[in-house]
Chain A
């Protein structure tokens, strides 16, 4: 479990991360995105259609006990993680789309996450103490909207401050996970060795399957390769630190420890899987760019 100090630190870090997310876009960006809502809609379907259902399915198929199941469903219902923007940037995919999907899913989270959490918890038969009160989740999200809006205002007032905060927020997203690894993993080393395989499978699989499904849906809706790769990363990468924060604010003691397991494992492994996928995507992207270049030089014998 996390100490009081760690929970507070996590809260502060989340604030900065959301500040950074807010600073990554302008009010205008939203309006522009809404004029052609297809990309945003695809993102929302991936985020709140595919992912929660995938989480529920994995929890059922693997027969997870309620404590683990609620953790898995929670992380599956989370909005897109801000780290997806960094991975998108590094994989040379469409950064603007990634930022927009993250932001829109975070705004929609206010309504979608409590509702979906309620729905899938019920469907999974989670009762009593393990239920996360929808009000709690909504509260956390409302609190986080404040720094998001401040970020947007800062961006508008001073682009230099805005862009710096954007970068800081993105870096901190990774820092939080590193922080978890350093502070949480050693203390729970014993627990990790006795954690059964299917828990790992659920934690890793949620991200990986999410990417595969996101990519497939994007392709199905005729998005080009670059956009499809963006949507894949965006779908697979959830806001892990947010889930960890909600768990620590809702549960204590042994219960917290149990519910926290999958969100923490997810957050650790998503960095690894996303990094690997990013390297691969980057290679694909470079190859396609090269192919486009040589196509421009023209055929040897135009007919």
Chain B
């Protein structure tokens, strides 16, 4: 543990806590581990519905808190006893929002294993990198993407595969209908060619193995410092790294999030719409864990695109909270059904992931008659760093004030604190700051300095402690809240024979906040210059949808430094001029 050498920064935001009815001092951790948090909530709210999964036609399945507890116990026992995984073993989860997700994720945590959240849309090469780096031993995968398994199994240490379905825990008829449509109409269920176990079978085996014993034996001794999850992110340099989030980090961040929202939450009475993917840290902490801990009902949406898929969920359940990103709120505001009947029980919404546009925030508040608060966070901070207070004083265009228990400094390039109103890099210290990057002391040392986490994001803070982001991390492209690292896209495009050089930057995009643009220098040795369509097709083989270049520009040469490094900042300046001219 590093000793802080920098004196505590003054906390100008504390006055804002009082004004908004926020308890400014974070209480000591209420649970030693996430397993304890989950279990105690499941006992306290046993007969209430914890999760309801709603597919676009309104068909649904639900689990009560008691069922979540029992099924996740069974999964924990399956991991520890049937598969004989040791505590701390990494288990990857690649599931869309569905009832299997909480059962599996909590099972892993209760087993004392480490959860590795993975985007189900990842390509085999992306999966390979992540599974190898994390040393994943078991994988829980949605059946729709089982065709990626052979390539992944061959080259990793992955030993066990558990396959789940979207309709896990649905009643028999809706399950039959949805499965029938998946199999015979949309044909999205590929044959599974590797040895695997179905989730239902795994749970049955786990339950049998456990017998009358308690899984508390696995998690009773977990401590705050023990690793709960490896949450992958590209950080600032481009190669995906696993942020090591401890049980203590996540328990604290849940408390911090609840402290910010408490004025608008009644334990046991809330219903939150979970359209953001649970494998993303925002929904993972806020929805899966945060709302679980106050006995809320989570409405899980497996696929929020098109946004019409949310209609039956919003109509059929008394949604009181919505967590989302700018894209989602904007999309809802463009739906006739939503405008005609905005959720009438709604109390508040929170936006994260990417900047919430002022116009969207204003319209949202006008249409729903409830506050929407923008916050800021990053994977490395579990994720919440700051939020606008819901109870009054929220400022448009601001990322709010630090959550209770969080210290924030804005630091200039020379490491000194800037004055109020001046721009500086956001440094964060608090119980939610990660332990480091998995197996990557170099990168950890780069970002963790004397107990502070240097975010790489530049912001200004006003005298009341409200922050406004000035610039995102240097080159990172934020597409709908997902980090896209230009290096990765460039590497893929550069593999094309017809491409000589390539540089990737972000351009403003009305829909996704930012979009990927590739500047390509054609290879003169090659017969024909590549077309945008060819480049897109090539990228599609290696990259998930949100990483694909939305725009391709052919160039004769790229701006470079004297030693031949491509100057992305010059291209960005061009883009700024181009988009300024368009306005």
Interface set of A (CB-CB < 8 Å, partner B)? 26, 28, 31-32, 35-36, 96, 155, 159-160, 162-164, 166-167, 294, 296-302
Residues of A within 8 A of B532 (CB): 294, 297-300
Asked if B59 and A28 sit within 8 Å, CB to CB, the answer is no
B177 contacts the other chain (Cβ, under 8 Å)? yes
Asked if A163 and B341 sit within 8 Å, CB to CB, the answer is no
Shortest Cβ distance from B529 into chain A, in angstroms? 8
Asked if A28 and B315 sit within 8 Å, CB to CB, the answer is yes
* CA gap between A35 and B336 in the complex, in Å: 9
Asked if A163 and B336 sit within 8 Å, CB to CB, the answer is no
Asked if B552 and A162 sit within 8 Å, CB to CB, the answer is no
Asked if A163 and B177 sit within 8 Å, CB to CB, the answer is yes
Asked if A296 and B550 sit within 8 Å, CB to CB, the answer is yes
B223 contacts the other chain (Cβ, under 8 Å)? no
* CA gap between A302 and B173 in the complex, in Å: 52
Asked if A298 and B57 sit within 8 Å, CB to CB, the answer is no
**CB-contact partner of B336 in A36, A296, A301, under 8 A:** A36
Q: A32-B337, A160-B174, A163-B57 are in contact. Are A294 and B315 (CB under 8 A)?
A: no
Shortest Cβ distance from A227 into chain B, in angstroms? 14
B340 contacts the other chain (Cβ, under 8 Å)? yes
Nearest opposing residue in chain B for A164, CB measure: B173
Q: Which of B58, B177, B316 has the most CB of A within 10 A?
A: B58
Q: A35-B340, A294-B533, A298-B532 are in contact. List 8 more A-B contacts (CB 8 A).
A: A160-B171, A160-B173, A297-B532, A298-B550, A298-B551, A298-B552, A298-B553, A300-B532
Q: List 19 A-B contacts (CB under 8 A).
A: A28-B315, A32-B336, A35-B336, A36-B336, A159-B58, A159-B60, A159-B316, A160-B60, A160-B171, A160-B174, A163-B59, A164-B173, A166-B57, A167-B177, A297-B550, A298-B517, A298-B551, A298-B552, A300-B531
| B contact residues, total (Cβ < 8 Å) | 30
* CA gap between A12 and B363 in the complex, in Å: 49
* CA gap between A1 and B315 in the complex, in Å: 46
Nearest opposing residue in chain A for B337, CB measure: A32
Shortest Cβ distance from B367 into chain A, in angstroms? 15
Residues of A within 8 A of B341 (CB): 28, 32
* CA gap between A300 and B532 in the complex, in Å: 6
Asked if A302 and B174 sit within 8 Å, CB to CB, the answer is no
Asked if A162 and B58 sit within 8 Å, CB to CB, the answer is yes
Asked if B553 and A301 sit within 8 Å, CB to CB, the answer is yes
* CA gap between A163 and B60 in the complex, in Å: 10
Asked if B340 and A164 sit within 8 Å, CB to CB, the answer is no
Asked if A297 and B340 sit within 8 Å, CB to CB, the answer is no
Shortest Cβ distance from B188 into chain A, in angstroms? 15
Residues of A within 8 A of B552 (CB): 297-298, 300
Shortest Cβ distance from B381 into chain A, in angstroms? 33
User: When each residue 315-351 of chain B gets 1 if its CB lies under 8 Å from chain A and 0 otherwise, what string results?
Assistant: 1100000000000000000001100110000000000
Residues of A within 8 A of B171 (CB): 160
Nearest opposing residue in chain B for A36, CB measure: B336
**CB-contact partner of A164 in B174, B336, B531, B551, under 8 A:** B174
Asked if B59 and A297 sit within 8 Å, CB to CB, the answer is no
User: When each residue 552-577 of chain B gets 1 if its CB lies under 8 Å from chain A and 0 otherwise, what string results?
Assistant: 11100000000000000000000000
Shortest Cβ distance from B72 into chain A, in angstroms? 24
B431 contacts the other chain (Cβ, under 8 Å)? no
Closest 10 CB pairs of A and B: A298-B551, A159-B58, A297-B536, A297-B532, A163-B57, A163-B59, A160-B174, A32-B340, A164-B173, A163-B58
Residues of A within 8 A of B308 (CB): 96
**CB-contact partner of B174 in A36, A96, A163, A298, under 8 A:** A163
User: Which B523-550 residues have a C-beta within 8 angstroms of A?
Assistant: 531-533, 535-536, 548-550
Residues of B within 8 A of A160 (CB): 58-60, 171, 173-174
* CA gap between A1 and B4 in the complex, in Å: 93
Shortest Cβ distance from B51 into chain A, in angstroms? 16
B305 contacts the other chain (Cβ, under 8 Å)? no
Residues of A within 8 A of B531 (CB): 300
Residues of B within 8 A of A164 (CB): 59, 173-174, 177
B312 contacts the other chain (Cβ, under 8 Å)? yes
* CA gap between A26 and B315 in the complex, in Å: 10
User: When each residue 158-172 of chain B gets 1 if its CB lies under 8 Å from chain A and 0 otherwise, what string results?
Assistant: 000000000000010
User: Which B377-431 residues have a C-beta within 8 angstroms of A?
Assistant: none
Residues of A within 8 A of B337 (CB): 28, 32
Asked if A294 and B336 sit within 8 Å, CB to CB, the answer is no
* CA gap between A296 and B550 in the complex, in Å: 6
Residues of B within 8 A of A32 (CB): 336-337, 340-341
Asked if B550 and A300 sit within 8 Å, CB to CB, the answer is no
Residues of B within 8 A of A296 (CB): 550
* CA gap between A300 and B529 in the complex, in Å: 10
Nearest opposing residue in chain B for A156, CB measure: B316
Residues of B within 8 A of A163 (CB): 57-59, 174, 177
Shortest Cβ distance from B257 into chain A, in angstroms? 30
